[in-house]
Amino acid sequence: MASQIVMPKMSDTMEEGVVVKWLKREGDRVASGDALAEIETDKAVLELEATTAGVLRKILAQEDSKVPVGQLLAVIGAEDEDVSPLFGRSTSPSPQLPPVTGAASMSSAAPASTTASGSGAPARLEPVTRERIDASPLARRMAEEARIDIAQVPGTGPGGRVVKRDIEAFLAQLRSQPSRPPAAPVSAPAGAVEGGAQAPAQLAPVGVAGVDHTERDLSMMRKTIARRMALSKTTAPHFYMTTEIAMERAIAMRQSLNELAADAAKISFNDMILKAVANALRQFPRMNVSYADEKIRLHQRVHVSMAVALDDGLITPVIRDCDRKSLGEISREAKELTELARARRLKPEDYIGGTFSVSNLGMFEVEEFAAIINPPEAAILAVGTIRQQPVVVDGQLGVGHRMKVTLSGDHRAVDGATGAQFLQIVKRLLEQPLTLML
């Protein structure tokens, strides 16, 4: 019995995806779990897996084409089966598609248990696409609490509803996954990065004489950044404050630590800043909050997002429980996340659920800047470069190392004095960096 494969909805923000590359060809035999294609979403490039076995009979979406969520991508069927009725209306937009079998799932999201539905009677299977995420109130609360995106959780309740047991299963799966694959495979996907980043970017001169510009389509990631940053600036009243931090001791400590460490294990200033911010949030939980639905949410755990610049945008992977991790652990994790981000191999659970962001442009010799808050978080710390400058210490003029950091706060959730106190703690921790080793 043939199954349709549609563009799955991989996050609550995803409306369309780009078929980066087909990994199987028409006529190829596929087993359940085989990767069929690479799909670029607004956040990452993910593999589309088959959840049913058969022959890939028909591919309906060309590589580099943009396909709305729910629209037909391909048909899997038996070798000699007439599958043409399944794609007769392949150009129809998603709302008109008949309920479709869940014949494919994204590799990083769906636990295997829920994909078994691919082999059942087609009339009884739930549509893969869910514009409105159907979830029970309890499941929503649990997802919120656990800081997971409920759109990523496969539902097993009536009509594919996400219910309590689905959240429990999803969390169990997250917990059971090894923290992250080792660094080895990261070098490989360089080609995929290129493909992923460039696929939607079609350079085309505008054909009107005298107009000297070109236009290109927005990538998925660009669209997301555009929407989220506009949302942040229009809904969160930002306030800004800058402080200067004396970095002599931090520089000295980093130097002595790195003298002992192998290249791969060297600590960066950014790692120290992440650690200082996490410890400060733990000491001063009033800053570890967000504004949501006319409520202040006080986060029990400290998850620090770090902005990673990419060719076409940026993403903020999250170091979870950053306050409970050692400087070395943070450093390792930050490296891995950065590499995964650049390879566009982050999974949704890698970049969802931060409680505070750090954006560092010090390496570009930016002295100071103000960042836009990454919603729903309530604050972001923008970190400038460390400069040598004349300083007065105890009435003596000397040369010091100073770093400027600027806090942007969402005034709905935190006030200036709150931010100032928080900055003081960050400053103290970095000026007395041995405390970071405690």
Partner 1 sequence: MAAQEQGFQVIVIGGGPGGYVAAIRAAQLGLKVAVVERDRLGGVCLNWGCIPTKALLRNAEVLSLAQRGEEFGLQIQGLTADYRKAQLRSRQVADRLTRGIAYLMRKNHITVVSGVARLRTTTQVEVEPSDGGAGQVLEAEHIILATGSRERLLPGVTVDGRRVWTSYEALQVEVAPESLIIIGAGAVGVEFASVFAAYGTRVTLIEMLPTLVPLEDPEIAEVLEQSFRKRGMQIMTGTKVEKVEASDAEVRVVVASPQGVQELSAAALLLAVGRAPNTEALGLEAVGVAVERGFVQVKSSQQTSIPNLYAIGDVAGPPLLAHKAMAEGVIAVEHLAGQTPKPLERTNIANCTYCSPQVASIGLTESRAREAGHDVKIGKFPFRASGRAMAMAETEGLVKFVADAQFGEILGVHIVGPEATEMIAEVAALKTLEATLDELILTVHAHPTLAEALLEAALAADGRAVHL
Binding site for partner 1 (CB under 8 A): 120-121, 124, 136-139, 141-142, 145, 157-158, 163-164
- CA-nearest of 245, 253, 251, 276 to 403 is 245
Q: Confirm if 56 and 128 have CB atoms less than 8 A apart.
A: no
Distance CA 27, CA 10 (A): 27
Q: Judged by CB, which is closer to partner 1: 156, or 268?
A: 156
CB of 160 vs partner 1, minimal distance in Å: 12
Q: Judged by CB, which is closer to partner 1: 8, or 160?
A: 160
CB of 100 vs partner 1, minimal distance in Å: 17
Q: Judged by CB, which is closer to partner 1: 113, or 255?
A: 113
State yes or no: is 238 an active-site residue.
no
Q: Judged by CB, which is closer to partner 1: 25, or 132?
A: 132
The beta-carbon contacts of 120-126 under 8 Å, at least 24 apart in sequence, are: 122/1, 122/3, 123/99, 125/99, 125/100, 125/101, 126/99, 126/102, 126/155, 126/159, 126/160
Q: Determine the angle formed by the axes of helices 137-146 and 164-176, rounding to 10 degrees.
A: 20
Q: Determine the angle formed by the axes of helices 248-260 and 269-283, rounding to 10 degrees.
A: 120
Asked, as a colleague might, if the bond just before 376 is cis with ω within 30 of 0, I would say yes
CB of 157 vs partner 1, minimal distance in Å: 8
Distance CA 291, CA 294 (A): 7
Q: What is the CA 81 to chain-centroid distance, rounded?
A: 40
189: left (phi over 0), alpha (psi -120 to 50) or beta: alpha
Task: Reduce the DSSP state of residue 312 to 3 states and report it.
Answer: coil
CB of 116 vs partner 1, minimal distance in Å: 10
Instruction: Considering the candidates 213, 238, 299, 411, report the single residue annotated as catalytic.
Output: 411
Q: Judged by CB, which is closer to partner 1: 147, or 402?
A: 147
* Token pair belonging to 32: 């359940």
CB of 161 vs partner 1, minimal distance in Å: 9
Catalytic residues: 411
